[in-house]
Every structure is written in C-alpha cells, then in structure tokens.
Amino acid sequence: MKKTTLKGAVAALALTAVAAAGQAVAGPDEDELVIDGETIVTRVAAPEDHPLDELISGWRFRSDETQALQMDDFENPAMVLVDQARDLWAEVDGSEGKACESCHMDVEETMVGVRAGYPKWNEAAGKPFSLEHAINACRTERMGAEAWKWESDQMLGMTALVGLQSRGMPVDIDDDALSDWIEQGKELYYTRVGQLDMSCAHCHEDNYGNMIRADHLSQGHVNGFPVYRLKWQKVGSMHRRFKGCMDNIRAEPYKRGSDEFVALEAYLAWRGQGLSVETPAVRN
Ligand code: HEC
Ligand code: HEC
C-alpha cells in the first residue's frame, strides 16, 4: 500500500518539523516475520467497526537490518534482560520469603497468553491494570517486596519474559470490561495536543507509510512492547514510547502508569486486536 498525500495538520507540520513532503514514500513491506519456524501475524484485515482497513505491525515498516534482529532470538538484544528475568523469577525477595516461582511455578506454562489479554480489568483496584501494575501488585501485596520502578531493568525484563509467553498469540482484550477506558483512550488518541497541535491519529492513522524526517511512520501498534529500541540502546516500555511521541509534538506528557496512559494503552490494544504479540520486538 502506498499513501502519497500529506494531509491537513501534517502538511502544516511539514513546514516546521517534518522533512519535505516530496521525500520518497514507502509503504509497509511484504516480508514475513518468522521466528524459530513460527510465523507471527504482522498484517490482517481489520474488523468492520475499525477506523483502519487493515492492521499492520510496526515490524513491517522497519529496515531489513532492524527486522532481522527480531527474527532471531540470539540476535535480539532484548533477550539479555529476558534471561536476567528468568533468574529473578526464581529469586526470593521481600518479607514473605517468596519468589514469583513459589506461586506461579514454571513461567513458560503459567504465563502463556497473559500478555495478549492486557491491559486487564482489576476488580480490587477498580480500574484496569497494565502488566507492570499486575507484577507490582504481586510484589507489594503478596511478597512483601518493594515495587519495581516502571522503567527499571527488572520490570522491563519481567514484562518481556511474561510477554514472550504470548508471542504469536493474537492480542485479545476484554472489550466489555474495558469499554469506558477504551472510549477515554480513543478521545485522547484523536485530541490535538502540544505546540504542534497534533493528535496520535495525524501520524499513525492518516500518515502511516509516509516518512517523517528519516523515520518511516507505522500505525503505532503496541503488540511488541516492551521493545528494544536501537535509538535508546536499550529495552523500553510502551508508556515510554507514548511519552516520547508526546515530547516530539511538544505536548506535556502524562506519567508512566497514569490513568491517561492506561486508557491509551487500552484503546491501542483494542485497535491492534488480531495482530500477534511480538514481545520483545526490535525497533529503530
Ligand atoms: C504469594 C503468591 C504469589 C507470588 C509470590 C507472586 N504472585 Fe503473581 N499472582 C498471584 C495471584 C494469586 C495472582 C492473581 C491471579 C488471578 O486472580 O488472576 C497473580 C497474578 C499475577 C499476574 C497476572 C496474571 C493474569 O492472568 O492476569 C502476573 C503477570 C503475575 N502475577 C506475575 C508475578 C511475578 C512476576 C511475580 C514475582 C515478581 C509474582 N507474580 C509473584 C500470586 C503470586
Ligand atoms: C509527529 C508524528 C507522531 C505523532 C503525532 C505521534 N507519533 Fe507515535 N511514532 C512516531 C514515529 C516517527 C514513530 C516511530 C516509527 C513508527 O513506528 O511509526 C512512532 C512510534 C510509535 C509507537 C511504536 C510502534 C511500534 O510498532 O513500535 C507507538 C505505540 C506510538 N508511536 C504511539 C503514539 C501515540 C499513543 C501517540 C499520541 C499520544 C503518538 N504516537 C503520536 C510519530 C508520531
């Protein structure tokens, strides 16, 4: 697919921040993502009530070199943290003398499919949990241990390890339980913010496939998080990426783990339902 028109606000932005509109435009490529012999769905038709015709993973918009890093677990730089998290899984911590393993046993069995269903309604909290919230609830309430910082290596490694157990499974959240939050996230998604007066939709819905500076715009899906980003030279959370996009349009970003970002996460998970979980993905 090729999109060649730069629309409305983005055309205006082109004068300031975006590279010239005449720059080469390249749609998503036709490569298939296969890891360890398993094909990961990176392009599917969207359901009827969806704003997009088809859903395309961010992986399809990356260069061959970046794609290759995600196709081989030995090359994927995120796997270092995943391996560290395997050790953490078995490590006793906190006043209760427990490890994750004490209750959840083998991560490769008990955590299958978990990531695909997040964010997830949490009855006790009366709101949806991101995976990070669920893990910290276990640490503070069940282990008597300190919460991990959202962007710490421990949390990034653990969300990647848990997420890996859903790799290849379609994102599938509980739309009914999350409906209010999905609505709220949708509103945030389409609201113009920041000095550049842009919404997420301006880039990720109206202009995916186009180039912005030297970067190839994707549909902005969240199925790969946490991801290893070459620019960060490390693994980063989904909410870090949201913050980065808000910084780029010079908006005041919300905090990681905030209700606003959880709502955006819920809406983006809804938008990406049917794509496979790719955790941990690699991006530029
Ligand atoms: C004392 C037992 C215990 C320990 C220790 C424990 N958990 Fe849990 N964990 C639970 C229970 C109980 C639940 C809730 C299950 C439910 O009702 O969905 C849960 C839920 C979770 C969930 C959400 C699962 C889902 O299906 O949504 C994740 C993820 C998780 N734990 C990760 C961890 C990690 C990582 C650690 C170690 C840092 C850990 N847990 C330590 C008992 C424990
Ligand atoms: C000015 C254009 C622009 C706006 C506005 C923007 N982004 Fe992005 N976003 C990017 C670029 C560039 C990238 C990196 C290339 C890509 O995947 O599109 C990116 C990447 C992402 C990714 C990672 C996709 C992946 O596959 O790894 C997510 C998620 C995302 N953006 C969410 C958002 C959200 C949420 C908003 C609104 C708060 C937003 N973006 C607003 C430009 C934008």
Q: What is the pLDDT of residues 15-27, one digit of tens each?
A: 333 433 434 446 7
- What pLDDT does residue 26 have? 61
Tabulate helix, strand, coil % of the chain (nearest 5): 40, 15, 50
Percentage of residues of the chain with pLDDT beyond 90 = 88
pLDDT at 253 over 60: yes
CB–CB of 57/216 below 8 Å? Answer: no
Q: Dump pLDDT digits (tens) for 159-209.
A: 999 999 999 999 999 999 999 999 999 999 999 999 999 999 999 999 999
Measured CA to CA, the distance from residue 1 to residue 96 in angstroms comes to: 55
Catalytic residue check, 245:
yes
User: In sequence order, what are the residues at sequence separation of 6 or more whose Cβ sits closer than 8 angstroms to the Cβ of residue 149?
Assistant: 155
CATH architecture of the domain covering 79-164: Orthogonal Bundle (1.10)
Burial of 62 (0-12, 13-18, 19+ CB in 10 A): buried
- What pLDDT does residue 214 have? 86
Q: Dump pLDDT digits (tens) for 197-217.
A: 999 999 999 999 999 988 999
- What pLDDT does residue 28 have? 85
CB–CB of 262/127 below 8 Å? Answer: yes
In which band, very low, low, confident or very high, does the pLDDT at 281 lie, cut at 50, 70 and 90? very high
Q: Which helix (H) or strand (E) holds 121?
A: strand 120-122
Segment 219-248 shows an average pLDDT of 98
Q: Where are the domains of the chain?
A: 8-74+170-283, 79-164
Comparing CA positions, the residue from 127, 125, 126 lying closest to residue 137 is 125
Measured CA to CA, the distance from residue 61 to residue 138 in angstroms comes to: 36
- What pLDDT does residue 14 have? 43
The residue nearest atom 9 of ligand 1, judged by CA position, is 138
Is the fold of 8-74+170-283 the same as that of 79-164?
A: yes
Q: Dump pLDDT digits (tens) for 94-149.
A: 999 999 999 999 999 999 999 999 999 999 999 999 999 999 999 999 999 999 99
Ligand 1: which of 138, 149, 279 to mutate, judged by most atoms within 8 Å of the beta carbon? 138
- What pLDDT does residue 3 have? 38
Tell me the torsion sign for CA atoms 164, 166, 168, 171.
negative
- What pLDDT does residue 62 have? 96
pLDDT at 156 over 60: yes
Segment 273-279 shows an average pLDDT of 97
Ligand 1 mean position to 200 CA, how many Å?
Answer: 33
Fold of 8-74+170-283: Cytochrome Bc1 Complex; Chain D, domain 2 (1.10.760)
- What pLDDT does residue 30 have? 86
Report how far Cα 172 is from the mean position of its chain's Cα atoms.
14
Ligand 1 mean position to 135 CA, how many Å?
Answer: 7
Ligand 2 mean position to 201 CA, how many Å?
Answer: 9
CB–CB of 221/58 below 8 Å? Answer: yes
CB–CB of 122/129 below 8 Å? Answer: yes
Ligand positioned closest to the Cα atom of 224: 2
Query: Within the chain, how many helices (H) and strands (E) appear?
Result: 11, 11
Segment 242-250 shows an average pLDDT of 97
Q: Does residue 226 have a cis bond before it (omega within 30 degrees)?
A: yes
